[in-house]
Every structure is written in C-alpha cells, then in structure tokens.
Amino acid sequence: MHKGPKKNLTGRAVQALAAEIMSGKYPRGRPFATEESLGRRFHVSRMTVRVILSRLAAKGLVRSRRRMGIFAARPAGVRPVGLLINDISQISSAYFAALIEGANSFLHSAGFSLSVMSLSGQNLQNLSPLSGIIIPPGKITPEAFRAIRRLGVPYLLIMESDLPGPAIRMDPGNAASSLAQGLLKLGHRAFALIRGHTLNVDRRKWLGIEAALGRAGIPVGRILEYRTEYDAPATGAAVQAAVLDMLSHSPRPTAVIAFDDSLALQTISALQHAGLSVPRDVSVAGFNDSPFSAMTKPAITTVRFPLFEAGRRAASALVAAAIKNKPARNIILKHEVIWRESTGPVLGRK
C-alpha cells in the first residue's frame, strides 16, 4: 500500500528534473545537483535519489563522470522545434529574424535545434517528428491549421488570432487601439488603413482601430481601407495605387495606419513621390518596430512587440510541454507604442 505514493513521487521528481534539464536550467559542462540536495528537495532517501538519477540517465539526460560528479547531458534523438512560415521568402524579414534569434537563444543552450518550415508547398503530414511548433501570425487557412493540429505535437501561436489554442499574447488589438487613440489626440479625424489581409492578427488590429475610432464618432464607412496581402513582388504597386486613391478622396486622410513597418515605409515613399510631406500633410504609423523604422527620414511611429522574447519563451514552453506530454499554455508579454517623427498634429489644431 505504501509503494504507490512513493512511486508517484519518484515519477514526479523525474518529470520535474527532466523538464528543468531540457529547459537549460543546468547548462552542459556544469555539475548537476548533488544526491544530498536532491534528497532534501524531494524529501526522499538516497536510494530513491539514485533511482531517479538512473531513470534520467536512461533518458540520456544526465551522465556521471568519475570523481567529478553528475552532469546534465544532451539527450540522444532530440527532436527540433518547428517554426512555421507561410512563405519562405519571409525568413529574411526583421520580424522573423527576431523570432528565430529568440528561439535559438534558448534552444542552443538546451541542446535543441530550430527547424523552419514553409507552409506553402509543405506536406505537413510528412514532417519529421518535432517537439513543438511555433506558429507566427500570417495567412493560415483553417485547412492548413487542421493539418498542423493533426501532427499531435504542442504548438504556440505568436499573437492572439482567430485560430484556437495557446498563444504568446501581446494584445495586437489593444495596441492598434492605442495607436489610433494617440492619432485622435493629435487631431486626426480622416483615416486610411493599409493592411495585409483580413485574417488572424491583422483582423485583431483592424477591430482595435475600428473600436477606437468608433468611440470617437468615426464610423467604419468613413475609414478608407486597402489590402496588399503582404505579397512582396506586388506590395509596392499595391501601396502606390492605395496612396493615389486616398489622395483623390475628400476629405483627404490626414493619418495612415499601415499594418507593418514595411508598408508604412512604402506609404511614406509614395506620399513623398506625390509631393506631400510626412507628417506635415499626412501622418503615417506602422507595426513591429523593425530596425529600419528608427533610421528612416522621418523615423516611423510604430508598435513594438517583444519578438525576441516571444521566440525564446515559445521555444522554452514547447520543449517543456513536449517533455510533460501536455499542451502549452498562454504566455502574456507587453507591447509598446513608439512615437516618432512620422506622426504629428493636424495643421490648424493643437
């Protein structure tokens, strides 16, 4: 009758230590906890500690060095963490660079690797086994998402979206609302949006802007809206056409919210090419605080999301979820609106 609780305690200790080792808590090359400290921590005898260590050794998580102690080890057959990209051409963007750098900062220290997967043309069912999948925002169809879930591995969405499941939450809707409210305080009442598409995170941004402008008495029908689908070869032409169209409207928009910094930069270029000054004639804001956004002239007002930290936390959480055979959980990170030179008050208003 007494074996059951003891067995459960041993199993819980193995699971807890395995998760810590895989999370990088005990860097390779440094001694692992002593038998005495493990006994005190889990309230078990030295014999039970040795059973725990033998199970960890069988998993390839610890190894013993004669007269040196016990060390955390890289387990054999470690499965990588996957990062899903809708289009492989996106991998060079500052957004994905930050996510990848953050994920690798954890994975390399814990003995794991990152596998970048392109959703376009990828047969998800034929992927090699993974510890988990990081799913950034993008144009992911319900069919593709169902295929991802059929893989049966833990996953984490980057940003809240229309897709179900745990996420690294950074509240893009509230971020977009804060951006719109700031522009309202500068006196802007005529708005245009240059968005990518209508799915997931972009939809959250749109809803946040709509809510903020609606509270200010600006109905949806008065907001000019243009879509680019983030299609790199055609985006420049789409932005040029959007700017020419918005300039033909009366009243002409005094503020443009682009749904990422690349779109914002192209909007500024198109406005300047049309002979307008930013922000004197039109204010422009973006999202993601790409490295170039602070170096352009004018520097771009934007929303900063902690993408490096999101990548690091996502990788760590997925590895832990795989070890525990449990779904990952929501993680909350904070965004920040960065006000720069590309936005200013409407002329004639304070």
Average pLDDT over residues 262-274: 96
Tell me the CA distances in angstroms from 203 to 59, 210, 214, 348, one per residue in order: 44, 10, 16, 33
Nearest to 216 by CA among 182, 264, 254: 182
pLDDT at 318 over 70: yes
Predicted local distance difference test score (pLDDT) of residue 63: 80
pLDDT of res. 219: 94
Q: What is the mean pLDDT of residues 78-107?
A: 84
pLDDT at 126 over 70: no
pLDDT of 200 strictly over 90 = no
Q: What average pLDDT does this structure show over 179-205?
A: 93
CA atoms within 13 A on the CB side of 203: 11
> Is the bond preceding 27 in cis, omega lying within 30 degrees of 0?
no
Query: Where is 15: in which H helix or E strand?
Result: helix 3-22
Q: pLDDT band for position 233 (50/70/90)?
A: low
At position 265, the amino acid (one-letter code) is L
Q: How far apart are CA 290 and CA 342, in angstroms?
A: 14
Q: Is residue 23 scored above 90 in pLDDT?
A: no
Please compute the mean of the pLDDT values over residues 316-321 and round it to a whole number: 88
Q: What is the pLDDT of residue 71?
A: 80
Q: pLDDT value at position 112?
A: 80
Please, what's the b/e burial string for 269-283 (b: 16 or more CB within 10 A of its CB; e: otherwise)? Answer: bbbbeeebebbebbb
Mean pLDDT is highest, among 189-203, 258-272, 310-324, for 258-272
Mean pLDDT of 186-201: 91
Q: Which of 280, 320, 231, 226 is nearest to 20 (CA)?
A: 320
Given CATH 1.10.10.10, say whether it is the number of domain 3-72: yes
40/44 Cα distance (integer angstroms): 7
Band (pLDDT 50/70/90 cuts) for residue 78 is: low
Output phi, psi for 133, to 5 deg.
-130, 130
Confirm if 103 and 122 have CB atoms less than 8 A apart: no
Q: Is the pLDDT of residue 2 over 50?
A: no
Q: Which pLDDT does position 1 carry in this prediction?
A: 40
* Residue 10 pLDDT greater than 70, yes or no: yes
CA-wise closest residue to 130 among 115, 119, 145: 115
Which fold would CATH assign to domain 81-170+307-334?
A: Rossmann fold (3.40.50)
pLDDT band for position 56 (cuts 50, 70, 90): confident
**DSSP three-state, residue 123:** coil
pTM for this entry: 0.76
Kindly report, as residue ranges, where domains of CATH 1.10.10.10 are found in the chain: 3-72
Token pair 């300047």: residue: 272
- List where CATH 3.40.50.2300 sits in the chain: 81-170+307-334, 172-305
Q: Provide the CATH topology of domain 172-305.
A: Rossmann fold (3.40.50)
